[in-house]
Structure 1
Amino acid sequence: MGLLSDPNRRRALISLLTRLNAPICVLCYFAAVCWFMGLSFEPFTLRTYMSENAMGSTMVEERFPAGERALATAKEFGAHKKKVGGMPVDWLVKTMQARGLEVFTQRFSRTLPFPDENNERYIVEGTNVYGILRAPRAPRTEALVLSAPCSPGDDNNQAVGLLLGLAHYFRNQVFWAKDIIFLVNEHDLIGMQAWLEGYHHTNTTGMDWSPLQGRGGSIQAALSLELSSDVVTSLDIVLEGLNGQLPNLDLANLFYAFCQKIGVLCTIQGRIQRNDWDSVSGYSHAVQTMMLMVMKQASGRSWGDHGLFLRYHIEAATIKGINSFRQYKTDATTVGRLLEGMYRKLNNLLERLHQSYFFYLMPSLSHFVSIGYYMPAFGLLAVILLLRVSLHRNSSLLFS
């Protein structure tokens, strides 16, 4: 305090900072870069772990058997979609009703500020179809969501087929303590935004949509499924939402735990996890994976339908099938069992996911970097701004 209260010493300090401003800024910049790059080195990261006790064990027996039937349903869905030239609403309603769900539809329209790239249209109209499996053993105050977007062409037909297969299988189970909502949304993000606004009785985008006739409890978690082939080689989890928002880390940990249990190859940012962290190539791989996550967050856009759930404080992620690693194969039955296991664990939650991290970076699915580790790097970059501003201010005072 004496240094700052003494005018002579304060003047000497300001003179020193002014004279060494550029070298200090360069030093802070390189220190920040080195700090941030060092976070990808495995000994400097933390291993992922389950913070929520209700999801701490994967000791459940997954029995979903109907992968082939789900693929047959996907082909039927694709045929009806091709026949009507879009979402086969009537077929979906009848199929969901046949599986014992309470089925509802929602029409929506959105005026675009610029023409659609594919059809050169300014108005997008569509219909969402969703079915609710009511919880047989609870007061129906909470819900989980499984969604699959109805994409153009043959894309994502397998995801819709698997969603309907899981709905039929879940209907025959008696241990559900939460409502489960099976949603097929049209026009990807636009349809999902319309459904979420209707579900929460809000309208933040000016979109026109019909009110929802059926509603479950408060949504605790959601998964969006994207599959475009009968057999996938790996499952990739997408976490980045709007404005860089991320779901609770326990949701990613749950996905990784069941992938390890069932033996499914799992990736993040579309990259396989490597074990040779002590080699140059292994370290470079971790750096690239982490930087991809940083760049996606910096873009501000949602990288899946799940990103819109995060705006409503609903923990959500997108699970995407990838066909890049030909030596591995995962069929629809295995994917269905993984989703069954995840939903059975989410069914055990007594409160929203909150015990784990909301701000983190992941060089791999087994390791993460918490906000307490990467914020010092940004602090050093902020010091540079303060030093440059102080230099400009002192120069202005000097010339005045």
Structure 2
Amino acid sequence: MAEREAPRTKQRPIVRLGIFFISHSLLFSVVCCTAGVLALLLLPVLAKNTYISENALMPGSGNPMLSSQDVPEANKLVKDVIALNSKSRGAGIERQRLIAQYMSDLGAEVNYHKFRPQAVQFHPLHFFSSPDSGITEQNVSCSSYGTNVVGIIRAPRGDGKEAIVLVTPYNSAKINQGEAFSLGIAYSVFSLLTRVTWLAKDIIWLVADSQHGEYAAVAAWLREYHTPVFTRLRTADAEICLEINNVHEVKESPIAERKIYDEFRRAGTMAAALVIKVVDKKEQFEDSLSIYAEASNGQMPNLDLINIVNYLAVHRQGLRAKVDKMWSVLDSKWLKILGELFESAGQVARSLNPQWKFGIPAADYVEGTATLASSLYNQALGVPTGPHGAFRDYQVDAITLEISSRASFDSKNRRNEFLLRCGRLIEGVIRSVNNLLEKFHQSFFLYLLTSPGKFVSVGVYMIAFALLVAPLPMVAASLYADANNLDSVQKDEPTSSTSVADEPGITLRSWKWINAAKKVFVVHLWGSVVSLFPYLIDQIPNCSPTRSFLLWVLFSTLSFLIMFVILASPFSHSFASPLHVGEWAILKSVTISVAFIGLCLMSVINFSTAEIGGLLIVPMCLLAHPLKLDLRDLSLKTFSRVSCNLVLGFIGFPPATFMILKGGFEGFSSIDVGDFWNWLESLWAWNSATYLFIGMVHLPCWLLCVHILFHHC
């Protein structure tokens, strides 16, 4: 009797779906990549209106208490600090004494914080941490010290465990009119808060000495605030300069002597921080408020903080709220055409069903895209857009408010009106934050802005990234399967062979995979070494940016040649010669897999970097194909692939990418080779994760794709 066949095990639907996608990887790649780019372009259309998530904030629920009677004293402070510019010597010290005296007269606790400038150095082990590492410059003169003035109001209803911080940067050497008005706005609010009874959080006013940089002054104070010092060893160096820069001589009366302290003063845990800056930009129509929120490595404050500022500025004080835009995008013709297409699609959708709220006006789409592009770029760059970034390194929600006036301050009434409106705005924000019983947590921390009142949440913008990188694992699996099938066909392995006969083929295929994995590993190791070269080049004195860039290229090339000699040794190819057919496919499969892992890891650290990097890496990895194979059978398809590979190979090289983007946005006449080095230097000085991504993911993937293009098939 014939032996019955064993019933086949039915595969699970998810397995069958995976096999289907792998077998149709080309179609899957085209559909997903197209959908990913389209989803990215649709983000301004899909943006939602902002809203207050935390009910306790209640912005605008109380009438402003700051009145016109509080403005004259603030106006007097503005005049006094500007008048000290006429002094040739000692104006900085006198200005610090003056500000401390104003604070002290209000009953605040006042102290001075002296700090030294920080050395900008490359720290390869300090990535993902604060760029201000505490390393000070050696042999600095006494005039290089900066002095912050700090005033603290103790809340009558508080327990001293929480605080709100106001920051006003100013140049102590020579203050300008905008910085003086920043001090005036903060002083008017500070004066009001000494009298109110509803205050439940301490108020810290930090007057940051920005002659060595706004960020450096704020970061130095924050480091001291969060690092209690129980000895005087840390301040010993600062005391050397006391006879030259002794600001403590401000004690001119017994009252002032009781309120100005020598030791560092602290309040509670910081609930939020506002950096106030007045800039001398003549607005065309109305007073405007620019909001800067990006911190290091794409970190953003809680969206509720931006929401309350935007609501109070627009609906209570009549200011025009703005966020940063990429102005070169606004003039793009193809973007305007795309906006008109989306607008037409929205009209058609509403005609079919009035409840479908798809599409926005073309002008709003262009402006939203310009804002979104700026938000993506600033987050991907990983460099803070203002001194508020120093607070985010300590997980404190902070933003910079840059206020500009539509008219000059020559008129007294105009000055008083400006101080009153801006002061009431700051009062309203502080009052809302004061209502919180816990830290900001209700709203979003991961978002992209398309306007001050519209945002794209992480659940929406991650769809574009997921669609973009989805083809990578499918194509990697398809290439690996095709390469193994090609080997089996060439060797004419019988299908009914025994397991012993199959064993050599399995072993050889395994070695082939290991050889490709070794190549990919060595190239990424080379990328790590290349990332450390700037630290060595930075030690060379008086080295121009152009020379530094050329040295970096030279060292990178030499290290690559050494790596190539190691890979080209007879030992490394001992298992490659019998399996030459399909070797490039295995190498491409491993390269795509590593690129997929690198992009996914980067999306966790900084989504914007992963998104922009994916737009460059994914097409390059998917289209990489040996040119020799395409040129053997030249057709329209192979010619198109060769052209795309050559273009992507050129564009994908990081320096070339930077030059093309800079030339497209600013004009090719302004391009300099040293600009790329300056850009890299800013990334590593701020410990941006984007620098690691370029050196350890982007550059190795580009080199491996070029290696596949020129593979000897």
TM over 0.5: yes
Cross-structure match for 1:197: 223
The partner residue of 1:268 within 323, 336, 343 is 323
SS in structure 2 of the partner of residue 372 of structure 1: helix
* Structure 2 residue 403 is matched with structure 1 residue 321: yes
Instruction: Determine the C-alpha separation between the residues in 1 that align with 2:478 and 2:169.
Output: 54
Cross-structure match for 1:37: 41
Residues 213 and 383 (structure 1), Cα distance of their counterparts in 2 relative to 1, 3 Å cut: same
Residues 91 and 385 (structure 1), Cα distance of their counterparts in 2 relative to 1, 3 Å cut: farther
* Structure 2 residue 406 is matched with structure 1 residue 334: no
* Structure 2 residue 304 is matched with structure 1 residue 250: yes
Report the AA paired with residue 154 of structure 2: R
SS in structure 2 of the partner of residue 40 of structure 1: helix
Report the AA paired with residue 202 of structure 2: D
The partner residue of 1:126 within 146, 150, 172 is 146
SS in structure 1 of the partner of residue 316 of structure 2: helix
Cross-structure match for 1:56: 58
The partner residue of 2:274 within 185, 205, 223 is 223
Cross-structure match for 1:239: 293
Which ranges of structure 1 fall in alignment gaps of 5 or more residues? 115-119
Instruction: Determine the C-alpha separation between the residues in 1 that align with 2:428 and 2:17.
Output: 66
Deviations 1:13-67 (A, max 9, x none): 65543xx2xx5434322211211211201xx222211111211352111131334
TM-score, normalisation: structure 2: 0.49
Deviation at 1:136, TM superposition (A): 1.0
Mapping of residues 373-384 of structure 1, within 5 Å: 373-384=460-471
The partner residue of 2:116 within 109, 115, 132 is 109
The partner residue of 1:139 within 135, 153, 159 is 159
> Is the 1:107–1:128 contact (alpha carbons within 8 Å) kept by the matching residues of 2?
yes
SS in structure 2 of the partner of residue 358 of structure 1: coil
SS in structure 2 of the partner of residue 342 of structure 1: helix
Instruction: Determine the C-alpha separation between the residues in 2 that align with 1:105 and 1:389.
Output: 61
SS in structure 1 of the partner of residue 393 of structure 2: helix
Residues 34 and 86 (structure 1), Cα distance of their counterparts in 2 relative to 1, 3 Å cut: farther
> Is the 1:258–1:341 contact (alpha carbons within 8 Å) kept by the matching residues of 2?
yes
> Is the 2:325–2:373 contact (alpha carbons within 8 Å) kept by the matching residues of 1?
no
Cross-structure match for 1:309: 391
Instruction: Determine the C-alpha separation between the residues in 2 that align with 1:10 and 1:158.
Output: 63
Instruction: Determine the C-alpha separation between the residues in 1 that align with 2:425 and 2:479.
Output: 58
The partner residue of 2:29 within 22, 25, 29 is 25
Instruction: Determine the C-alpha separation between the residues in 2 that align with 1:376 and 1:45.
Output: 13
Instruction: Determine the C-alpha separation between the residues in 2 that align with 1:145 and 1:160.
Output: 14
> Is the 2:281–2:404 contact (alpha carbons within 8 Å) kept by the matching residues of 1?
no
Instruction: Determine the C-alpha separation between the residues in 2 that align with 1:231 and 1:336.
Output: 20
Q: Which structure features the higher share of helix residues?
A: 2
Residues 33 and 142 (structure 1), Cα distance of their counterparts in 2 relative to 1, 3 Å cut: same
- Identity in percent: 30
Which structure has the bigger radius of gyration? 2
Deviation at 1:157, TM superposition (A): 1.8
Deviations 1:307-346 (A, max 9, x none): 11111111111110135799xx971210100111111111
SS in structure 2 of the partner of residue 317 of structure 1: strand
> Is the 1:192–1:308 contact (alpha carbons within 8 Å) kept by the matching residues of 2?
yes
Residues 57 and 190 (structure 1), Cα distance of their counterparts in 2 relative to 1, 3 Å cut: closer
> Is the 1:3–1:9 contact (alpha carbons within 8 Å) kept by the matching residues of 2?
no
Cross-structure match for 2:265: 214
Residues 212 and 251 (structure 1), Cα distance of their counterparts in 2 relative to 1, 3 Å cut: farther
> Is the 2:201–2:434 contact (alpha carbons within 8 Å) kept by the matching residues of 1?
yes
Deviations 1:174-230 (A, max 9, x none): 211110001111131111111111111179xxxx76796211011111100001359
The partner residue of 1:344 within 428, 431, 439 is 431
Report the AA paired with residue 93 of structure 1: A
Which ranges of structure 2 fall in alignment gaps of 5 or more residues? 1-8, 122-136, 239-261, 328-342, 344-358, 409-413, 484-511, 514-580, 584-713
Kindly indicate whether structure 1 or structure 2 has the higher relative contact order, using CA contacts under 8 Å at least 6 residues apart: 1
Deviations 1:269-292 (A, max 9, x none): 2699xxx97321221111111111
The partner residue of 2:100 within 69, 76, 93 is 93
SS in structure 1 of the partner of residue 116 of structure 2: strand
Instruction: Determine the C-alpha separation between the residues in 1 that align with 2:11 and 2:407.
Output: 62
Shifted more, 69-78 versus 226-235: the winner is: 226-235
Report the AA paired with residue 106 of structure 2: R
Cross-structure match for 2:208: 185
Calculate the aligned-residue CA RMSD, in Å: 3.4
TM-score, normalisation: structure 1: 0.84
Deviations 1:345-379 (A, max 9, x none): 11111000101110111112222111001001111
> Is the 2:302–2:397 contact (alpha carbons within 8 Å) kept by the matching residues of 1?
yes
Report the AA paired with residue 179 of structure 1: D
The number of aligned residues is 380
